Chains A and B, each alone.
Chain A
Amino acid sequence: MQVLGIFYYWVFAVLLMIGFYAVVAKINLVKKLIGLSIFQSAVFLLYLTMGKVTGGTAPIYQDDAVGQLFSNPLPQVLILTAIVVGISTTALGLGIVVRIKEEYGSIEEQDIQETDRR
């Protein structure tokens, strides 16, 4: 179990940084937003990894079961709402990208900067 635990934390770190790389290094705005989604998913993964209890189960009471061990419900609540908020903000970002494309004719950062300089 401990191997898996370390592995979860490392995958979190690697995913976070893959997303970060896309945001920093990529020039295409849609690609940046995709990177941001990966970054966001990595954070979700971290929260739920922290909430897991060994031998636990999803926090739903069952009638016939006694002494159930539950994983932490609080991170799950936070992440559940964060996913839906995340898609709304991504959509807002995509809306801005579409408007930028219409005004500047490009969604590449370099082209946009050149147009602004002119």
Chain B
Amino acid sequence: MTVLFGIFLLTLLVITAVAIVRTQNLFVAVMLLGIFSLLIALNFFILDAADVALTEAAVGAGISTVLFLGALALTSERERFVTKHRALSVAVVVCATLVVLYATFDKPAFGDPNAPVHQHVAPWYLEYEPEYIDIPNVVTAVLGSFRGYDTLGEVFVVFTAGIGVLFLLSARPGRKTSRRQSENDESAIGLRENLIPRVVARLLVPFILLFGLYVQFHGEYGPGGGFQAGALIAAAFILYALVEGEARTLEVLPRNALIALTAAGALLYGGVGLTGILLGSEFLDYSVLAADPVSGQQMGIILIEAGVGMTVTGVLLLIFHAFAARDQV
């Protein structure tokens, strides 16, 4: 049954990808990309990656679609030219496909517990995680503690990307007046005139927020954590902005608060790391945070997950507002 379902989902995935590349309407392509993300999230779920599936569904199908649509609103919805050097591109791609397909025959068998990837550090993580950290979700433990350096680096990449978008898009657009100054304009009103989206969104937003917080604080026990929660909370605010208008969302959570939130999250993560040094151990070693090393680890993970959640929420919302506030050219 799983085999059939897997094959079905994978086939749909390929069909969607082909349709995305073939369509000339970029709006259609972005919508299909959302479907593609949902399908690939289901595939991740079949592959036992519950945390990843949750992230992909929130980020890929939700936020990425909104960002692409925001960019389309500022650029154009149709492709003008189809392809350039079509024959050459097809030839290159076909050759590369053959090489990659040839390489797949050398890969270890699917699901083989003796594959090289399962012989390295992963068994150690699974065996000693209950002893050192003792939280049920091993993914969160590896993310927060064993590989805390990686995650710190990634949080800073997200932070830097957010700053980059702000730099790019807060430059003055020049000749035209800001869109948000005119009262009757569509973006200020949002979908407030449409009754059904408005009622549904009003009902949904609190529950999405609640679910985001649940995912944030339950990340140690089930699938979840700061990355997923950040994406979910940002999605709730973006939904609110789409329905009620961007200005109202900025009243709830002003831009300065978002910048502070973003910086505070990254600082919290780094601060927890430095506290480890100050308490006489190494950077990002949480065992010294409490008298008992195991509860120290748990405390450290909760703190850094909070930092991750804050930064991700802040950056995603800042990026969304940067696109939404931009003039149409």
Tell me the A residues contacting B by CB distance below 8 Å: 1-22, 24-28, 30-31, 33-35, 37-38, 41, 44-45, 48-62, 69-92, 94-99, 101-102, 105-111
| Interface membership of B48, Cβ < 8 A | yes
How many chain B residues sit at the interface, stated as a range, is: 35 or more
| Interface membership of B186, Cβ < 8 A | no
Asked whether, in the complex, the Cβ of A76 is within 8 Å of the Cβ of B49, the reply is yes
Q: Which 7 A-B pairs have the closest CB atoms?
A: A5-B110, A54-B111, A88-B161, A25-B89, A71-B48, A9-B104, A95-B168
Instruction: Tell whether A7 pairs with B74 under 8 Å between CB atoms, given A35-B21, A90-B67.
Output: no
Name 12 A/B residue pairs within 8 A (Cβ), A-sorted.
A4-B2, A4-B3, A5-B110, A17-B100, A24-B92, A26-B79, A53-B111, A79-B49, A90-B64, A92-B161, A94-B68, A101-B329
Determine which of A7, A80, A89 lies in contact with B139 in the assembled complex, contact meaning CB atoms within 8 Å: A80
For A58, list chain B residues within 8 Å (CB): 48-51, 139, 223
Q: How far is the CA of A91 from the CA of B60 in the complex (A)?
A: 12
Instruction: Tell whether A102 pairs with B143 under 8 Å between CB atoms, given A5-B111, A70-B138.
Output: no
Interface set, chain B 46-60, CB cutoff 8 A to A:
47-52, 55-56, 59-60
Asked whether, in the complex, the Cβ of A77 is within 8 Å of the Cβ of B118, the reply is no
Instruction: Tell whether A24 pairs with B104 under 8 Å between CB atoms, given A4-B6, A49-B110.
Output: no
Question: Which of B25-33, B251-259, B269-277, B295-303 is near enough to bind chain A?
Answer: B25-33
| Interface membership of B206, Cβ < 8 A | no
Determine which of B17, B82, B228 lies in contact with A18 in the assembled complex, contact meaning CB atoms within 8 Å: B17
Q: How far is the CA of A2 from the CA of B108 in the complex (A)?
A: 11
Per-residue A-contact encoding for B81-112, CB less than 8 Å = 1, 0 else: 11111100110110011001100100111111
Instruction: Tell whether A48 pairs with B165 under 8 Å between CB atoms, given A8-B110, A101-B329.
Output: no
Known pairs A24-B89, A25-B93, A83-B56 / 9 extra A-B pairs, C-beta < 8 Å = A2-B110, A28-B80, A52-B47, A56-B111, A57-B48, A62-B136, A77-B150, A80-B55, A105-B329
Asked whether, in the complex, the Cβ of A34 is within 8 Å of the Cβ of B157, the reply is no
| Interface membership of B187, Cβ < 8 A | no
Instruction: Tell whether A87 pairs with B71 under 8 Å between CB atoms, given A27-B84, A98-B168.
Output: no
Count of CB-CB pairs between chains A and B under 8 Å? 312
Determine which of A1, A37, A80 lies in contact with B33 in the assembled complex, contact meaning CB atoms within 8 Å: A37
Q: How far is the CA of A24 from the CA of B276 in the complex (A)?
A: 47
For B121, list chain A residues within 8 Å (CB): 74
Asked whether, in the complex, the Cβ of A27 is within 8 Å of the Cβ of B49, the reply is no
Q: How far is the CA of A33 from the CA of B322 in the complex (A)?
A: 19
For A60, list chain B residues within 8 Å (CB): 50, 136-139, 221-223
Q: How far is the CA of A83 from the CA of B312 in the complex (A)?
A: 12
Asked whether, in the complex, the Cβ of B118 is within 8 Å of the Cβ of A72, the reply is yes
Asked whether, in the complex, the Cβ of A91 is within 8 Å of the Cβ of B86, the reply is no
Interface set, chain B 128-164, CB cutoff 8 A to A:
130, 136-139, 142-143, 147, 150-151, 154, 157-158, 161-162, 164
Instruction: Tell whether A13 pairs with B139 under 8 Å between CB atoms, given A26-B79, A73-B122, A101-B74.
Output: no
For B14, list chain A residues within 8 Å (CB): 11, 14-15, 18
For A22, list chain B residues within 8 Å (CB): 20-21
Question: Which of B35-43, B193-201, B209-217, B280-288 is near enough to bind chain A?
Answer: B35-43
